Chain A
Amino acid sequence: MVDYSYFDIKIKLRDPDAVILTPSLFRNCVLDTLDSFFCEEKFTLEIVKFCAQQQRVIFRVPQELHDVTRSCLQLIGHYQEVPCHFQVLETSKTALDFEKSSEKLYANEKKSEDY
């Protein structure tokens, strides 16, 4: 059985109206970067959840690719030639969900404010 690493991503775009945001295009964008970095074409990346309105994605990769994927995500600067930032909100070895992540983030923010 393969162990997976889950990524919760917030897509920040300079001009969201100028791009087409679909799961497959997002997947291709990440895979192309991974390919350009490590010259391997057999990366497995599965989109678990995708919300174009919220500009949020949850995807998973095999656990051994966790570090590689995380580093690559940081160096992606353009999505369809529009400046972008794929902000990693959370990573986990267990399945992630938009609502759970949001609750967690809210709790963390509140904690840091109290602190």
Chain B
Amino acid sequence: MLEDHFCASLAALVARGQLKTENKSEMEQTNPFYDFSIIYNKDDKVMRALLNELVELGYKTIAIEQSFDHSKKEPGKRGSEMFPEPHKIEHLRKEFQGKLRILQRLTILYVDVNVSHAMSVSLNLRKFNLIAGQPKTDAALTHCCTTFNGDLVTFDPVAGSRLLVNRKAYQIAVRRGMFFEIKYAPAIADSNNRKDMIKIAQNYCTKGKSKNIIFSSGAVHEFQLRGPYDVANLAFIFGLSEDQGKNAVDRNCRQLFLKAESRRLGKTIMFVRGNGPIVFSDSSEAEDDHEMEDLQTELNETSENNQPNKRLKVH
């Protein structure tokens, strides 16, 4: 736990620029702004148009998304490698080298916890930069927040706002370094989706003060893309503060990327050197700690209550 906390703090410091690695080339470099959801299209023309528009709008790091529905797999095949290989996009990477850093992301749609086992034995998953979970049921949503071995929680904007995260699960997810994604392209495409998305975003706001939120497009074509400053401005509608809006397209995405890299690479030794005054805690983190302590005691209390042969204490 302490190790995790240290790694997270280190990653946060590196992200803020207060620490620099000894050798920059060893550190995974990314530049703002970020869009971690560009839907993959087989047609290279469409992909090129999307990527050109992203460059024009000022994005530097993007992720091409492919989906995989775990619940539609035959039961017999479970246990073996069931996740797909990433699409081959080397030619696009070469074409946009220097302009865009192109990552690959897998979104796993699932209903039950069996997905965890399949994920633990999969080799293909390591080939993706980002892993997102898209739960289809309430139980899956809780699992996604508490034990899912991915980086991101997303939702199906077309399915409506059936699934709303509860406060406890949200806080555990934040504690684990998971991020919640809000896609804006479905809100552009359809006004019904827009209502649902606002509802989900407001739920994040009321249940967890909109912590660890990232904005991404989920764009299918180039007319669904918006500039990073305009996207940050959508915070006004989604119930985030101005700072949270900016972080949702910049700092949070960087932290998400670092978290994903650490998941892929496992334990790594990093040499770090100070580059100015280092502040290890601030008021917001202290506030978070208080909240987490409260949550911990709450959880302990519930687990104590669940013990079958609990002894009565006499004061």
Contact = CB atoms under 8 A, between A and B. Distances in A.
A36 B192 CA distance: 11
B224 interface: yes
Given A67-B236, A71-B236, A71-B237, A77 B223 contact: yes
Contacts of A102: none
Nearest to A14: B223
A78 to B, nearest CB: 9
Contact of B188 (A12, A77, A87, A88): A77
Interface stretch (B225-233, B250-258, B280-288): B225-233
Contacts of A71: 233-234, 236-237
Contacts, number: 45
Contacts of A77: 188-189, 223-224
Contacts of A14: 221, 223
B194 interface: yes
Contact size range, A: 10 to 19
Contacts of A84: 223
Interface in A73-89: 73-77, 83-85, 87-88
A36 B222 CA distance: 24
Given A77-B223, A88-B230, A36 B236 contact: no
Given A75-B187, A77-B188, A77-B189, A70 B223 contact: no
Interface of A: 12, 14, 36, 67-68, 70-71, 73-77, 83-85, 87-88
Given A73-B230, A77-B189, A77-B223, 20 more contacts: A12-B223, A14-B221, A36-B191, A67-B233, A67-B236, A68-B236, A70-B233, A71-B233, A71-B237, A74-B188, A74-B230, A75-B184, A75-B194, A75-B234, A77-B188, A83-B224, A85-B222, A85-B223, A85-B224, A85-B226
Interface of B: 184, 187-189, 191, 194, 221-227, 230-231, 233-234, 236-237
